[in-house]
Amino acid sequence: MHRAVIDALNQTWNALTADGAPFAHSETEVRGMTMKTFDSAPPNLRMVWEMSAAHGDKPYLVYEDETYTFTEAHAIVRSLAAYLKDRGVVEGDRVAIAMRNYPEWVFSYWAVVALGGAAVGVNAWWTSNELEYGLNDSRPKVVIADDERLERLIPVLDGLRAGGDMHVVSVRSERELPSDAVRWAAVIDPANAPDPLPDAEIHPDDDMCIFYTSGTTGFPKGAQLTHRGSVHNVMHLAFANTLAAMAAATVAEAAGEAPPEPTADAPAPSLLAATPLFHVTANNCVLHGATAAGAKVILMYKWDATRAIELIERERATGFTGVPTMSREMLLHPDWETRDTSSLESMGGGGAALQPDLVEKIATAKDAGVQPSTGYGLTETHGIVTAVGSIFFRAKPASAGRIMPTFDYRVVDDEGNEVPNGERGELCVKGPAVVKGYLNREEATAEAIVDGYFHTGDIVYIDDDGFLFIVDRAKDMVLRGGENVYCAEVEAAVYEHPDIAEAAVFGVPDDRLGEAVGVAIHLKGGAALDQAGLTEFLAPMMAKYKIPEHVWFMDDPLPQNANGKFLKRQLRDTLTAKD
């Protein structure tokens, strides 16, 4: 069955990308380099937004008790776009969006994109100093900020304005405004919004968005996302979904199974956006795809497993995309067994490897209709590089899927030599979905993108079926006495223990070995485990040098950054300082 499943996927892939097929592609010159681009790709993301008007009165955004249809959203976007145009925002200008996952984030984003400007996604966790750094780096003409971000902006605003005009629009705030600032309600008038949108000339390779890398080490870099790159990510998402559905139907037909009949009460497509919109997971992989497909997006102010399960039940969400820790938290939550989550069709996400045990846990959850899914990608690739789901994910649960059609790729060793299938090396990718570069960072751009290939920093191998397996981040590797220990491999084994809710593996300084393997663990409620028990559990699964020598059991959940990734550096520094 395994071979038949993979063969069906690969055959469907070839059919969907053949000449004249919906996802056919050909070679195009992009920024002076030859790349594969989809033949049917729209020229820019504004067109994707304009086409979504056809979804009319379908619900588009849900936030708490607020619901906005596509028609209502388009009126708000036209109103804001006209205001920004009056403020002098033109093609190529930047507008910063500094807020949590409010509907205003989405409206602001589409208004800027439609004008041919670049939306600067401000990390909502930034302090005043970090906010000052990001805005000095990107120099937006306008900052649209909620109350908490406005509070942090005000102390540094005068200094920022010394470098040029910076207008402020306040969202959901009653505080006293700085000079030359206005409230959202004063500039948005949907009932009298002009139609159509203001004219704009947008080239496919114009900046569409500036998203900053996570910033857990050093100063964050502003990745320049383009219209072409974002459009291709939307098409990669559509390709992955179409591929999975068609291939699954082929497998079912070969097994003599009838395809499921649609029912009148089947839930409409709707996605829960659990991660921040200032990252590509929620923005490019949830918002863009949902907008193009006419699906509902359910916004969460911040991650909370209890609230997420409530919203899945209330809104009949069909898809959940987050980081793996979020899916794990929901499955472990007592409300998962009592709430109606039967509308869910897919569950998973990206941002980190989905451990094999979690793939099976999702697939065998109480609601049998939900299927595991994952996508591997980075800010620098506008979203997904690979994707896989349903029976194909279960066939290769340690994999992140096949690399999407318009990427060329290499897996290279430390000397830059390409390695054959099955051997580990750094993944490098080239294609229209690779960012233009880093804002104001020519040296960093030249280091990261060589001959068009972006060096991901991820250690992977690719099997003979073309499926990619993530071993680890190159910088997230423990070098123990000359032996490489890949943290993701150890974490996957640790998660096999039934009492472990969260685990993060990292290197611990060691006078003799250089580094030793350490792990921080948060247990499930009521569970009891000690280091000896963990060592005994892991001993049959891996070489002794890979088993953690330093183990910390944490009373509280492990700390995460804004995108839901564990803060390993913080954990290591805090825990080793106590020893």
Q: What letter represents residue 146's amino acid? A: D
Q: What is the pLDDT of residues 45-74, one digit of tens each?
A: 999 999 999 999 999 999 999 999 999 999
Structure tokens at 241: 């979904």
Whether residue 477 contacts residue 459, with contact meaning beta carbons closer than 8 Å, is answered with yes
Distance of alpha carbon 68 from alpha carbon 304, whole angstroms: 23
Q: Tell me phi and psi for residue 347, to 5 degrees.
A: -155, 135
Q: What is the pLDDT of residues 126-175, one digit of tens each?
A: 889 889 999 999 999 999 999 999 999 999 999 999 989 999 999 999 99
pLDDT class for 215, splitting at 50, 70, 90? very low
Region of residue 327 (phi > 0: left; psi between -120 and 50: alpha; otherwise: beta): alpha
Q: DSSP letter at 572?
A: H
> How many H helices and E strands in the chain?
17, 28
Could you tell me which residues are beta bridge partners of residue 270? 296
Inter-helix orientation angle 531-538/487-494, to 10°: 100
Distance of alpha carbon 305 from alpha carbon 335, whole angstroms: 9
Q: What is the pLDDT of residues 229-282, one digit of tens each?
A: 999 999 999 999 999 988 888 888 877 787 666 666 788 999 999 999 998 999
- Residue found under tokens 């908490």: 148
Distance of alpha carbon 138 from alpha carbon 118, whole angstroms: 10
pLDDT of residue 3: 84
Whether residue 326 contacts residue 564, with contact meaning beta carbons closer than 8 Å, is answered with yes
Q: What is the pLDDT of residues 369-396, one digit of tens each?
A: 788 899 999 999 999 999 998 888 888 8
Distance of alpha carbon 116 from alpha carbon 127, whole angstroms: 29
pLDDT class for 81, splitting at 50, 70, 90? very high
Q: Do the strands 371-378 and 346-349 form a parallel or antiparallel pair, or are they unpaired?
A: parallel
- Residue found under tokens 């960072």: 441
Whether residue 88 contacts residue 116, with contact meaning beta carbons closer than 8 Å, is answered with no
Neighbour-count burial of 163, counting CB atoms closer than 10 A to its CB (0-12 exposed, 13-18 middle, 19+ buried): exposed
Q: What is the pLDDT of residues 95-125, one digit of tens each?
A: 999 999 999 999 999 999 999 999 999 988 8
pLDDT of residue 365: 83
